[in-house]
Amino acid sequence: MLTRRHVLGGVAAAALASRAQAQAALAPNWSALAGAFRVPDWFRDAKFGIWAHWSAQCVPEFGDWYGRKMYIQGDSFYEHHLKTYGHPADHGFLEIENAWKAQNWDPEHLIGLYKAAGAKYFMALANHHDNLDTFDSAHHAWNTLRVGPKRDIIGTWEKIARREGLRFAVSNHSAHAWHWWQTAYGYDAEGPRAGQRYDAFKLTKADGAGKWWEGLDPQELYTGPAMVPPDGIPSAKAMRDWHDTHTGRWMEFAPPQNPHHVAKWLLRQKDLVEKYRPDMVYFDDFGMPFGPVGVEALAHYYQQSAARDGQVEVVATAKQLTPFQRTALVDDVERGFSDRLRDEPWQTCTCIGDWHYNRARFEQKSYVPAEKVIQRLCDVVSKNGNLLLSIPMRGDGTIDSEEEKIVAGITGWMRRNGEAAIHGSRPWRIYGEGPTQVGGGMFNEGKVSFEAQDVRFTTKGGALFAALLAWPDRPVTIAALGTRALPDAAIERVRLVGGGPVRFTRNDAGLTLDLPPARSGEFVPVVQIDGRGVA
């Protein structure tokens, strides 16, 4: 006779077996990773995250890739550095790393703003191509506890994000440091200091005696010479062409004759996830870097979660994934759209300005406005994706007044519509309709301009939600909801989320909505559509 004791004992044994299986080593190969990974529900429900893409490259307030471009004679970054800091042979980026003091950083305030704006996960940059770890790094002495802020940036963000109930994520960009930094081993090809090599070429650990970086080896920061420009390049243009050809490509392979960089990358990545237990890791790579080493890092990350949670409850993202890789990773589309409703969850990462703070954006008021951010959010979510949005930070740890206005605009919209139509939602049978054609792929944001006839759908709680990507000044007809498209459905009610009933008519051609005018500050209206056979 099967007793309750037998049943409970069997359940307990099954649970122990399941946990033992989860704690078993996860083989570092794609097939094992695919078998262990599923996109967790928290990520599918979250839909929106905010990113602090913050490093020493924000100190000059001049935009992206400052550390690389300041060593390219004739580039605007080089000219800015020469004018502001001095010649890169004398004052290299090593000095900018230490100039990052984060003296006005108020992480509680910022995370509070982002939580109010509807972010369900918060991402912090753990290192960038400039190769400075922003955490208590056991394997890399060039980190923010010893250099610059003298603080555990990641550890601070992590504690506050979790306390506020947000999922915590980190981004790792350091795989590319080795080729990104090769410009620092170059020289001016022309002018009064022609032929004089920049700081990375000449500095050694011994040169730090009596200086702020005493005991640190600059070659560990700059990664060592791998593709150094040869002597005798005759002009600045020829030097730029040389770098474009030799060091400017996006390289996923290991640096030749420098296995130390790869081994250290793996140690740093393992240390990062063991110390801070991130819910998500963003790899700034096409697939995983360094072949089997990258796969080992991914297996280690998933195994950490499986041992802790009983199954893999974390997310890793990378870019330009093959269909098979997408069974073990979430595809990230940098600064791009999707042209279709995807079967598997995905993410797009973008920014309201430059990835690293650029004061010109503030002065010119050229940030992406809140309305366009929300249009993008609705488009991405309708296609089974998440939006990760970067709000650039100054080197001192603040955001500027224009950025605060944009965050406030996002907050207002999300308070009205987020819980109803975004968080926890799922795609409908189609993503939407409308005249604006959106291409797929990375870096294709372009100048997409949505109209009121561009509609994006989500479903939640048995209701269908339709976001009109611009506020209409006349009735809008949605063909996908007409009797020809949905002959077996009956639409009973339509109301404006955060408002009242919406007048509608329905025929073969579509569902026609007559919305009230937008009130001050309103944009991207969302309507809830209820009825039989709709959602």
User: What's the pLDDT at 411?
Assistant: 98
| pLDDT tier for residue 256 given thresholds of 50, 70 and 90 | confident
Nearest-5° Cα angle at 356, 350 to 360: 100
At residue 67, does pLDDT exceed 60? yes
Say what the pLDDT of residue 314 is.
98
Does residue 3 have a pLDDT over 60? no
**Nearest CA to 523 among 375, 405, 415, 350?**
375
Question: What average pLDDT score do residues 15-22 get?
Answer: 49
**Model pLDDT for residues 75-93, shown as the tens digit of each residue:** 999 999 999 999 999 999 9
pLDDT tens track for 204-240: 999 999 999 999 999 999 999 999 999 999 999 999 9
Provide mean pLDDT across the span 310-323. Answer: 98
Confidence of residue 23 (pLDDT cuts 50, 70, 90): low
- pLDDT for res 19: 52
Share of the chain above pLDDT 70, in %: 96
Q: Are 432 and 455 in contact (CB under 8 A)?
A: yes
List of residues 6+ apart from 337 with CB closer than 8 A: 348, 379, 380, 438, 439, 440, 441, 444, 445, 448
Q: Which helix (H) or strand (E) holds 332?
A: strand 330-334
Please compute the mean of the pLDDT values over residues 320-339 and round it to a whole number: 97
Closest CA to 22 of 36, 41, 39, 43: 36
- Structure confidence at residue 317 (pLDDT): 98
Measure Cα distances from 31 to 35, 37, 194, 303, 309 in Å: 6, 10, 53, 14, 21
Distance of CA 260 to the CA centre of its chain: 27
Number of H helices, E strands in the chain: 17, 16
* pLDDT number for residue 7: 38
Question: Which residues are 49's β-sheet partners?
Answer: 121, 388
- The pLDDT score that the predictor gives to residue 25 is 84
Q: What is the mean pLDDT of residues 173-191?
A: 98
Give the DSSP letter string of 49-97. EEEE--SGGGTT-B-TTHHHHTTSTTSHHHHHHHHHT--TTTS-HHHHH
Over residues 503-515, the pLDDT tens digits come to 999 999 999 999 9
Q: Which tokens hold the place of 137? A: 């790094």
Provide the residue type at 389 as one letter: L
Which tokens sit at 532? 């039989």
Give CA–CA dist 485/479, Å, rounded.
Answer: 7
pLDDT of 313 > 50? The answer is: yes
How far is it, in rounded angstroms, from Cα 374 to Cα 378? Answer: 6
Look up residue 71 and give its two tokens: 């060593």
Instruction: Please name which of 246, 250, 259 lies closest in space to residue 286, comparing C-alpha atoms.
Output: 250
Q: Is the pLDDT of residue 17 over 70?
A: no
Do the Cβ atoms of 413 and 523 come closer than 8 Å? Answer: yes
pTM of the model: 0.95
> Half-sphere exposure (CA, 13 Å, Cβ side) for 281?
30
Check residue 59 and give left, alpha or beta (phi > 0: left; psi -120 to 50: alpha): alpha
pLDDT band per the 50, 70, 90 thresholds, residue 21: low
Q: What is the pLDDT of residue 219?
A: 98
| pLDDT over 70 at 20, yes or no | no
Which amino acid is present at 253?
Answer: F
